[in-house]
Structures are given as structure tokens and as C-alpha cells.
């Protein structure tokens, strides 16, 4: 009798408690921290995906904006949260790859403190120049800049931002040197490019579209690996003259490190369902992005690749945000 009872106790102790917990998940609303203000790309992607995720999970998914310090504040909140699947993060290229490249100290480690779940969107940048610039394509821009070292200006959304590091990468690969003019966001940077105060800038497809239509700006290339279906006439920067060049922003869902694997798998499966929803492509297109999904392993590989890429660019250009 004692042997049977002991066996039962052992079986119960080793039973599928983790699986039961996973099957019960979610038993309460799930919070998605967006480390940027409401209305921006990360916020809108989080809300679009969150609505479908809520339907799929059968529980409310609440978007919580924790903006500040280039996304650092929101990321720290998630990194320090209980790893139970009820607090997630909408991370970006900036929060997880360019911030570590330019900030000497961060209150979180992009690899150690997070569990990547899935990419959800990819939004390439478009290279925009003032119409008065006497160039018709990327090769002519590079030749024009090489003949005038230090004379052309490029606007970014701030020192150490993805748009700033993108220009530093562009300078290195093209063998040119421009003057960096940092702004508080790409909207004012684009307006000053239209006004002719600066020579060029980067921006998203949707932000650039009305200015291109009105011929206030010229687009010389797009930073994606392949042409965008939203702007098929614009060549990629790689095909236009700089092979291997890529610049854009990815968006992806992270959980705190230590979140149970069964929970990660559940969330991942529902995210993939949401991304593959027929209406998602149209909603993402309105934001200038494309819906993408990945396995957690694939997402981690992208993260590791981009950490190396932007750390190298920042070091070569001596870019520091502190």
C-alpha cells in the first residue's frame, strides 16, 4: 500500500502541471508593452495584431504604452516582469539592436533578458532627396557626393537612431561623407528635406508617399531586400548601386526570459494565425509594412545578426547616444 501511495505521489509531483498551466493560459488579460507613444508604428502594429490575438486567445489583449528614452523604459518594464506570459513586448530594430550599439549602458540585455516569440512586421525605409538635387538615381547621387565630400547633409530621427546608423552604413558602403543633422523624429526631418534645409533623409513608405506624389521629394531607393509591392517602381538600394545594403525596421513580440516553453509555443501559434489572416496584409500595407512571422529560433537569429551589424557600424562611425 505504501509503495502504491508513494508511486501515486511521485506521479502527481511529476505530472503535467506545466501542461495544465499552459492549457489554462490565458486565464486573465494579456498586456503588450509598447515602448513608444500611441500612434506610432510600433503602437499601431501592436493594436492590429493584438485584436486578432485577443480573438484567437479568447482573452483581452491590452496595449500599454510606456514611452521614453528611445524605448528603454518600456523594455526594462518587460525585462523585469514575471515570466508568466501575461506581459509581452512589441520590440523593434531600435530597442533591441541599435540601442545596444549606441548606449554604453542599458538596464536590459537584448538577448539574455527576453524570449523572442515571433517577428510580426517588416517596414523598409525609403531614401528621399530634395528634387533640386541634380541626380536621377542612386549611382548619380553617390558620384555627386564623392565629388563634394562633407557638403551634403542627411537628416535622421536622432543621434544613434536607425535612420542615423543607416546613413553611416550608406556612407561607408558608398565611400562618401555627409554631414549628419539629427531631428526629434522623421516627420520634422522630412519637412526640412522638402524645404531644402537638408539634402536627404529616410522615411517609411506611407510617410513618403504623399510627398512623392506631389513631387516634393524624389525617392532613389528602398532599403528592403526586394522591391516593395507598395512602390514597385522604386529599386532597392542594393540593386541601384550598393549590393548588400538593407535598412528598415522590424517589429516583433518578446516575452520576458524564463517564460515557460509551452506558453511561448501557445503565443507563437496564435501570432502566426493572426499574421496569416487575409485582412492583415491590407492593414499592414497602410502602415508601409509587410506582415511577417518567424519561429522563435529564426527571430533570435535575426536579432543576433543585427546586433553584430549595427554594433560594427556604430563603432566605425563613433556614434554614441549617451
pTM of the shown model: 0.89
First to last CA, the chain: 68
Average pLDDT over residues 16-29: 69
Average pLDDT over residues 30-38: 96
The residue from 240, 270, 292 where one domain ends is 240
Average pLDDT over residues 166-179: 95
pLDDT of residue 321: 86
The reply to whether 64 and 145 lie within a common domain is: no
Asked if residues 207 and 187 have their Cβ atoms less than 8 Å apart, the reply is yes
- Domain extent, residue 148, equals 124-240
Alpha-carbon torsion, ordered 302, 101, 120, 74, to 10 deg: 140
Over residues 177-198, the pLDDT tens digits come to 999 999 998 999 999 999 999 9
Instruction: For the chain, give the mean pLDDT.
Output: 91
Distance separating alpha carbons of residues 296 and 28, to the nearest angstrom: 24
The reply to whether 130 and 229 lie within a common domain is: yes
pLDDT of residue 22: 55
Which CATH number is 189's domain given? 3.40.190.10
- Has residue 2 been placed in a domain? no
pLDDT surpassing 70 at residue 12: no
Which of the four pLDDT bands, split at 50, 70 and 90, describes residue 285?
A: confident
| DSSP labels, 263-315 | HHHHHHHHHHHHHTSTTHHHHHHTTT-EE----HHHHHHHHHHHHHHHHHHHH
Over residues 52-89, the pLDDT tens digits come to 999 999 999 999 999 999 999 999 999 999 999 999 99
What is the SS3 assignment for 46? helix
Amino acid at each position: 500500500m505504501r509503495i502504491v501511495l508513494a508511486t501515486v505521489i511521485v506521479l502527481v509531483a511529476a505530472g503535467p502541471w506545466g501542461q495544465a498551466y499552459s492549457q489554462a493560459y490565458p486565464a486573465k488579460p494579456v498586456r503588450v508593452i509598447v515602448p513608444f507613444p500611441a500612434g506610432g508604428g510600433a503602437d499601431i502594429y501592436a493594436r492590429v495584431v493584438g485584436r486578432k490575438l485577443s480573438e484567437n486567445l479568447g482573452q483581452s489583449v491590452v496595449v500599454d504604452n510606456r514611452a521614453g528614452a528611445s524605448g528603454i523604459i518600456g523594455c526594462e518594464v518587460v525585462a523585469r516582469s514575471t515570466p508568466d506570459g501575461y506581459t509581452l513586448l512589441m520590440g523593434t530594430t531600435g530597442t533591441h539592436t541599435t540601442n545596444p550599439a549606441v548606449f554604453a549602458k542599458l538596464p536590459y540585455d537584448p538577448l539574455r533578458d527576453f524570449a523572442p516569440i515571433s517577428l510580426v512586421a517588416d517596414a523598409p525605409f525609403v531614401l528621399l532627396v530634395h528634387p533640386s538635387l541634380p541626380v536621377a538615381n542612386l549611382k548619380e547621387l553617390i558620384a555627386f557626393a564623392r565629388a563634394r565630400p562633407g557638403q551634403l547633409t542627411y537628416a535622421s530621427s536622432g543621434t544613434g537612431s536607425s535612420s542615423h546608423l543607416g546613413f553611416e552604413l550608406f556612407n561607408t558602403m558608398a565611400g562618401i561623407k555627409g554631414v549628419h543633422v539629427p531631428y526629434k523624429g522623421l516627420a520634422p526631418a522630412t519637412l526640412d528635406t522638402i524645404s531644402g534645409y537638408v539634402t536627404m533623409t529616410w522615411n517609411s513608405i506611407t510617410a513618403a508617399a504623399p510627398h512623392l506624389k506631389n513631387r516634393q521629394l524624389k525617392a532613389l531607393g528602398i532599403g528592403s531586400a526586394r522591391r516593395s509591392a507598395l512602390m514597385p517602381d522604386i529599386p532597392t538600394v542594393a540593386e541601384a548601386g550598393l549590393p548588400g545594403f538593407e535598412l528598415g525596421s522590424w517589429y516583433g513580440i518578446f516575452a520576458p526570459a524564463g517564460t515557460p516553453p509551452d506558453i511561448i509555443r501557445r503565443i507563437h501559434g496564435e501570432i502566426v494565425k493572426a499574421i496569416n489572416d487575409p485582412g492583415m496584409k491590407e492593414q499592414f500595407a497602410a502602415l508601409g509594412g509587410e506582415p511577417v512571422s518567424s519561429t522563435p529560433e529564426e527571430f533570435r537569429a535575426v536579432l543576433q545578426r543585427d546586433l553584430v551589424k549595427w554594433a560594427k557600424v556604430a563603432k566605425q562611425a563613433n556614434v554614441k547616444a549617451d
